[in-house]
Amino acid sequence: MVDNNMKQIAAEHAVKYVQDGMKIGLGTGSTAYFAIMKIGELVQSGLRIQAVATSKASERLAIEQGIPLSPIEQVRRLDMTIDGADELDGQLRLIKGGGGALLREKITAFHSERLVIVADESKSVSRLGAFPLPVEIIPFAYEWTVEALIELGCSVRIRRAEGGGSYFTDNGNLIADCQFELMDEPEEIAARLSRIPGVVEHGLFVGMADQAIIGCHDGTVRMVQARERSGKIVFDS
């Protein structure tokens, strides 16, 4: 079974949670694509929702599929966001931003009652860090920002666009792809990144995901669920 089939299995399973009248965040990337396509099918069959897209690419796809989009200023809170991840561990800590939409994805996730992550099983890891961590930085004095990133112990590459030149996000910023060694303490790295002037946002999503739905080679899905117990977050897999 190819990766796209695993992605589709996970995404379509997540869409089963979408109910009539919900306000839904639409993620960005190759797995979120399948969720948007399935939601579009349900909308054509009569499902009534409001949606917010996390990128211009997802917005275009939603419009093509007839999914009604709401302006951000008209939506106070989302019921659920369905999004992908470049890596996730057993504690639902994520690396996101391979598609360049990490800032909008994090804003949308923060304002959602529930963040459901969909991925194929190759994205499930014991420790984060094999995938380069995307960090969105402003173009002004970006060389200084890159120097500060390197001081954290990573190598840094400014992302390039397919046609040549620097890649710019939907927000007009650059992406610095930071290659760390495998991360033992992603929370500490996240905190240190947030203290660097010039860093707009980073792709470490820690303590944000409520559930992961992972598509497996055998056609099944594996669930990882975060839930509160006595004031602590524990994880079921």
157 pairs with which residues across the strands?
177
Compute CA distances 170 → 69, 101, 103, 167, 173, whole Å.
Answer: 18, 7, 9, 10, 8
Cβ neighbours for 111, distance < 8 A, ≥ 6 positions apart: 25, 77, 78
105 annotated active-site: yes
Residue type, 153: G
Compute CA distances 228 → 118, 207, 234, whole Å.
Answer: 21, 12, 6
Q: Find the catalytic residue in 12, 59, 87, 105.
A: 105
First to last CA, the chain: 22
Residues annotated as part of the active site: 105
